[in-house]
Amino acid sequence: MPDPLVLLSSILIEGIILGGFYSLVGLGFSQIFGIMRVMNLAHGDFIILASYLFALFAQVLTNPFLAFIVVAPLMFMIGYLYQNVLNKMIYKDSSAILLITICFGVALENILLLIFTPNPRNLCPSYLLGGIDLLGVSVRKSLLVAFSGSIATFVLLFLFFKRTYIGKAIIAASDDRLTAMLMGINPPKIYRYGMGICMVIAAVTGLMVAINYLFDPSAGTSYLMIAFGTLVIGGIGSLLGTFLGGFVLGISQTLTANLIGTSYQLVGGYIIILIFMLLRPQGLFGRKE
């Protein structure tokens, strides 16, 4: 049994690094929900789709990070077209739209299965293998890349919402659709851009998934659950909430992994989500609706 203080610090550091990655997983999902009030149950599968696109283009461009130049616009286009379909349903029926997204998820999973076979893959380049010593705890290099990528994405998204016209229009359309329309904003069009941007975030997530973990076409569900967890813990439409929600999930998972066993790691995270649902349904930073 190691010294409890050392164990605690290692759990915390591992949890924070993992949590940064989870915030990134939840970011696209929670922004889609915040902007369009659509719970995109295909999000996990879109992340895996991005991972496979990276695998495809990394072969041509020799480097997964370089492939981002191709994959990001591609995912933006996919998101734009996807929202085109969803827009036809968006003000009518919230449960129908939920079913449509889940159907898209299943369709995507099976298409990936058809094209890429169920063999798991990984894209970690050789220079990211191994770990770095961080305050006495060894942390995987690739996970650190994911952590910094996550923070960069959050900062960029924050600036995008504050500084650019489209960002402000997205915020306006999500806050009050009618007033935004009176100000000359066309919400369906803005939603298409919003979904495109969320899909670019999914592309970043897919890259981080691809260099950190083994992925296969059916891996989407567990990422969807993590994304849902950050949304529940953080509250609707709050960037800070999603960010902290990821950390809560990450730390609770490393805690269960260290105390009970790595095979129950996911269960620990899910139970934290349940506790939040029971005690604080509106999340850490959400408004009560």
Partner 1 sequence: MEKNILIAIFILFALLSLLSDPFWSAFFSLVFIYIACSEMWSFMISKVNLLSLGQQAFIGLGGYTLAVSSVYYDLPIPFGILMSACVAGIFTILELPPLLRLRGIYFAVGSWLFSEIIHLIFINWEFVHAGRGMAVPKAYGMSPTITYFMALCVAIISVSVIYFLSKSKTGLALRSIGENEMTALSIGINSFKYRGFCFFIASLITGLAGGVYYTMRPYVIPWEAFGIQWTIGFAFASIIGGSGTLLGPVIGSIIHVSLIHALAGFTIIAPLIDVIVVIIVLFVFPKGIWGTIAEKMRFKLT
Which residues of this chain interact with partner 1, rule CB under 8 A? 39, 41, 88-89, 93-96, 98-100, 102-104, 106-107, 110-111, 113-114, 221-222, 225, 228, 232, 263-264, 266-267, 270-271, 273-274, 277-278, 281
Nearer to partner 1, 149 or 268 (CB): 268
User: To the nearest whole angstrom, how small is the minimum distance from the Cβ of residue 105 to partner 1?
Assistant: 9
Q: Which is nearer to partner 1, 147 or 191 (CB)?
A: 191
**C-alpha triplet 56, 60, 63: angle, nearest 5°:** 85
Please, which residue, 64 or 194, has the CB nearer to partner 1?
194
Beta bridge mates, 139: 132
Minimal CA–CA distance to 206: which of 227, 191, 190?
227
C-alpha distance from residue 7 to each of 41, 143, 175, 258 (Å)? 36, 19, 44, 9
In whole angstroms, the minimum distance from the beta carbon of 168 to partner 1 comes to: 27
Closest distance to partner 1 from the beta carbon of 137 (Å) = 26
Q: Which one, 179 or 262, has the nearer CB to partner 1?
A: 262
> What would the two tokens of residue 217 be?
């076409």
Residue with Cβ nearer partner 1 (13 or 198)? 198
Q: How far is the CB of 74 from partner 1 (least distance, A)?
A: 21
* Cα atoms in the Cβ-side hemisphere of radius 13 Å centred on 39: 16
Q: Which is nearer to partner 1, 156 or 275 (CB)?
A: 275
End-to-end CA distance of the chain: 47
For the bound state, the minimum distance from the C-beta of residue 264 to partner 1, rounded and expressed in Å, comes to 6
Residues whose CB falls within 8 Å of the CB of residue 39, separated by 6 or more in sequence, listed in order? 32, 33, 98, 101
Q: Tell me how many helices (H) and strands (E) the chain has.
A: 11, 2
Distance (Å, rounded) from C-alpha 258 to C-alpha 263? 10
Nearest to 168 by CA among 185, 152, 192: 185
- Measured from the CB of residue 96, what is the shortest distance to partner 1 in angstroms? 5
Q: Whole-number minimum distance, CB 224 to partner 1, in Å? A: 8
Task: Output the six-digit token pair for 40.
Answer: 């995109």
Please say which residue, 197 or 273, places its beta carbon nearer to partner 1. 273
CA–CA distance, 92 with 81 (Å, rounded to integer): 19
The gap from C-alpha 206 to its chain's centroid, in whole angstroms, comes to: 9
